[in-house]
Amino acid sequence: ENDLESKLPLRGIKIMITAGPTYEAIDPVRFIGNHSSGKMGFDIAKSAAKLGAKVILISGPTNFDVQNTTINLIRVTSAQEMYEACHQYFNDIDVAICAAAVADYKPKVVADQKIKKSDAAFSIELEKTKDILASLGQIKQNQYLIGFALETENEIDNAKLKIQKKNLDLIVLNSLQDKGAGFGSATNKVTFIDKDFVIEPMPLKSKEAVAEDIINKVISRYQ
């Protein structure tokens, strides 16, 4: 191990990151999902690894891959699988960053054969998925817990409520109001709010730059 590596600010720190969407099965060929690409979470993982962290990246279905050997990529499909993977690693990590767009609801029953169409109207009964981030907030010891919030109204107040409800240390509020931010975009406009409700609006940036800002927040915790 060379001098450069020993000076990396996140050396010895384990970071768990969730990324991407989740797919909730309806039947063997259909699911409920969303347009999350996973880019934000993968960019955060890269930034963290570059600065010396050991990264566990738990991702729903995405086209992204990782080259970096210090990133342990665990692929999952459903919210339940993501929940189980997160709980498997949580006790062993220092920082958790939940950037996944987890489905809020899933079909109450999954048909074991392809559902055939008929002339009648058709509806699917949904039930809530587990809130992964909130479940980690409930059991956290010393872990630094970062969540995201996507809001379209009363952004700041709703994000503050999420900090409290989920017992977070920091929330990254995504502003959809600004053009070029959010799903499918290369850029993001975020506002950081910490557990003391200190609000820090950031300018529109590339997702790579937002990822670096988030990792800098983590670093400042260890200084």
User: Is residue 104 a contact point for Ca ion (CB under 5 A)?
Assistant: yes
Where do we find the tokens 């768990």? Answer: 16
Nearer to ligand CTP (CB atom), residue 155 or residue 212: 155
- In angstroms, give the least distance from the CB of 113 to ligand CTP: 28
User: Is residue 85 a contact point for ligand CTP (CB under 6 A)?
Assistant: no
Distances (CA, A) of 173 to 5, 135, 160, 167: 32, 20, 10, 15
- In angstroms, give the least distance from the CB of 190 to ligand CTP: 12
Asked if residue 16 lies in contact with residue 69, where contact means CB atoms within 8 angstroms, the answer is no
Q: Which of residues 103-122 bind ligand CTP (CB under 6 A)?
A: 104
If we measure between CA atoms, which residue out of 206, 127, 135, 191 comes closest to residue 167? Answer: 135
Is residue 34 among the annotated active site residues? Answer: yes
Residues 6+ apart with CB under 8 A from 147: 98, 133, 162, 163, 166, 168, 170, 171, 172
User: Is residue 188 a contact point for ligand CTP (CB under 6 A)?
Assistant: no
The phi and psi torsions of 92 (rounded to 5 degrees) equal: -100, 0
- In angstroms, give the least distance from the CB of 68 to Ca ion: 29
User: Is residue 148 a contact point for ligand CTP (CB under 6 A)?
Assistant: yes
Binding site for ligand CTP (CB under 6 A): 18, 79, 98, 100, 102, 104, 129-133, 147-150, 162
